[in-house]
Amino acid sequence: MTAAWHEWQGETLVLNVRVQPRASRDEVVGVRGGRLKIRITAPPVDGAANAHLARFLAGEFGIARSRVEIVAGQAAREKRIAIHGPRSRPGWLQDST
């Protein structure tokens, strides 16, 4: 099943997300406006938020940070992210499929 905010391309999961930096904790909030909303604690300075987001998602999917790629939206809150070969599916993803 494909939702507007995610799709499978072979072994790669592509997510459309909206990131809220400088949050009080790292968490997936849910789907808002056709995008997965993710809160992260890092500030949006010098790529810190992107690096933190990649580490957070790598942990969620049980993969190395190098297997998380920000495909679009490097300098924006709305991003397109590829998760290459996820080893596990977080509860928030299982609930949506």
- Residue 4 confidence (pLDDT): 85
What pLDDT is recorded for position 94?
Answer: 74
pTM of the model: 0.91
pLDDT category at 1 given cuts 50, 70, 90 is very low
Given pLDDT bands bounded at 50, 70 and 90, which one contains residue 92?
A: confident
**Average pLDDT, stretch 73-95?**
92
> What is the CATH number assigned to the segment(s) 6-94?
3.30.1200.10
Domain layout of the chain by residue ranges: 6-94
Give the pair of three-digit tokens for residue 90. 């977080």
pLDDT digits (tens, 9 = 90+) for 59-83: 999 999 999 999 999 999 999 999 9
Q: How far is CA 76 from CA 10, 38, 47, 49, 93, in A?
A: 26, 13, 11, 10, 23
